[in-house]
Amino acid sequence: MYEDVMKRRGEIVKRAVGVDYSKFEIEGVAFDYEKMMNEAGYSLDEIREIQFETQVGNTPLVELKNLTKLVRKYSPPGKGARIFLKDEVANPAGSFKDRRASVSVYHAKKHGYKGVIAATSGNYGAAVASQAAKRGLRCIVVQEAFDSHHVGQPEILEKGRACEAYGAEVVQLTVGPELFYYTLELLDETGYFDASLYTPFGIAGIETLGYEIATQLHRREGKFPDLVLVTHAGGGNVTGTARGLKLAKANNTQVVGVSVDLHGLHMASDRDFNRKSFTTGHTGFGIPFAVFPDRVDVPRNAARALRYLDRYLLVTQGEVFFTTEALAQVEGMMRGPAGNTSLTAALAMAREMDRDQIIVVQETEYTGAGKLPSAQLTFAKKMGVVVKNGDPIKEDEPGKVIAIPDSIDQIGTIEYPLEKLRNSYLKEIVKTYGKREYSDVEIKFISEDTRMTFDDVKKRLKEVL
């Protein structure tokens, strides 16, 4: 059974997504990314109309005046940028993932699919379930929820309950390779639409978010943001937001990805699965998907972070827990945890920037019993992780120690060099394609996919080979 399903993977995915990806192939490594986005996706105006029908988008842009004031207490004279927050909790299922789901579910309905399937342990499942309910489609959400002892993370179980509340059937699995196989099997059996996170539909749905950030701030302040901070996991959030900013002509706005530093933990490890306190927005997704985007369930991934990232920063688990509490207690906004990853970096970066500069934290998400710091930290202790107050940069150790800062001035960021990601990308290309020679067409594509020059790609490929 397994061999049969995996042998027919291409056929199953093509039927379930309804996209002939072969139309976009050029040569070897290279494919026409923009053609794929334009032909398989929807225009910005079309997406705005689709989202308007199901109450998605046009979320508030909130200035965090109290947190900005607090940051300025710990900043040098003249420093302390203003911090704004795009409050995506106002979407129907409470996160920016509603934007992704809205287009995928609309497309499924338009093309006569009876239901949709999403493989996710995150907010996307709730978003797909909510949009499916609005469009009158059935929904199945497949989650990696447990380790081999059938112990589940509070946050994942919370999201599973949300999916069920919207009427979805939730299939919960133990961590491991069976997630992809089981999803393929369900797609094959049901004939449902594959609401993959990585299709052009899902990425184009986020473009409205970047566009709204730019236009709302410009109307309010007469300028575009200096920085937009985006919690980075699989790359779709960065890609869609950056594309939306460009559509609004905010070409000088820097796009900065932020992930929780979980180095040393393996995401597919049964032992490590429950020793992390964040199910998304961490380096276990952020780095692998940036350096090898096409590791996904569709032939070509529309989420390609290296095309758009200006910087990549890491923060610790303890810092994000501190920020989650600070947002609630200083601004009266209980959100998180994933969106607070980028807010954590904002608290550090604002101290280095001028007071007239503006940072926009790109999204928030709903919270709930299983997602609150109290639930996460209690679970961490149960799994043998030490939770303490201390210097997070020095003492935080993924899977072993969560060090929560005593004060906002202990929050910092770790710069992850984009050059390191680009070198890893080239190594993955060589490993995947197994070639020693690459054509000018392929090198041009790699150049565009990584924002390196043509000559730099040629030079570095030789070094990797």
Distance CA 273, CA 150 (A): 11
pLDDT at 240: 97
The domain locations on the chain are 2-22+95-196, 52-93+201-415, 418-464
C-alpha closest to that of 339 among 241, 215, 450, 265: 241
C-alpha closest to that of 97 among 42, 45, 162, 182: 162
Distance CA 339, CA 358 (A): 18
User: In angstroms, what is the C-alpha Rg of the chain?
Assistant: 21
Distance CA 169, CA 141 (A): 6
Distance CA 390, CA 410 (A): 9
Count of CA atoms in the C-beta half-sphere (13 A) of 167: 14
Distance CA 59, CA 380 (A): 33
Q: Long-range contacts for 2-8 (Cβ within 8 Å, ≥24 apart)?
A: 2/181, 5/181, 5/184, 5/185, 5/188, 6/181, 6/184, 8/188
> Residues 220, 68: contact at Cβ < 8 Å?
no
pLDDT at 368: 87
Distance CA 314, CA 414 (A): 5
C-alpha closest to that of 29 among 456, 418, 450, 310: 450
The model's pTM: 0.96
pLDDT at 45: 95
Amino acid, single-letter form, for residue 423:
N
- Interval 306-330: pLDDT, tens: 999 999 999 999 999 999 999 999 9
Q: Characterize the bridge pairing of strands 227-231 and 358-361.
A: parallel
Q: What is the DSSP secondary-structure string of 377-439? A: HHHHHHTT-EEEES-HHHH-BTTTEEEE-SSGGG---EE--HHHHHHHHHHHHHHHH--S---
Count of CA atoms in the C-beta half-sphere (13 A) of 204: 28
Q: Say what angle helices 44-53 and 97-110 make with each other, to 10 degrees.
A: 90
Distance CA 152, CA 147 (A): 7
> Residues 128, 141: contact at Cβ < 8 Å?
yes
pLDDT at 122: 84
pLDDT at 277: 86
> pLDDT of the chain along its 465 residues, tens only?
778 877 888 899 889 999 999 999 999 999 999 999 998 778 999 999 999 999 999 999 999 999 999 999 999 999 999 999 999 999 999 999 999 999 999 999 999 999 999 999 889 999 999 999 999 999 999 999 998 999 998 999 999 999 999 999 999 999 877 888 889 999 999 999 999 999 999 999 999 999 999 999 999 999 999 999 999 999 999 999 999 999 999 999 999 999 999 998 887 788 888 888 888 889 999 999 999 999 888 999 999 999 999 999 999 999 999 999 999 999 999 998 889 999 999 999 999 999 999 999 999 999 988 899 999 999 999 999 999 999 998 999 999 999 999 999 999 999 999 999 999 999 999 999 988 899 999 999 999 999 999 999 999 998 888
| 52-93+201-415 matches 2-22+95-196 in CATH topology | yes
> Residues 280, 213: contact at Cβ < 8 Å?
no
CATH of domain 2-22+95-196: 3.40.50.1100
Which listed CATH number (2.60.40.420, 3.40.50.1100, 3.40.50.300, 4.10.490.10) goes with 52-93+201-415?
3.40.50.1100
Q: State both tokens at 264.
A: 């040393």
pLDDT at 9: 85
H or E stretch including 228?
strand 227-231
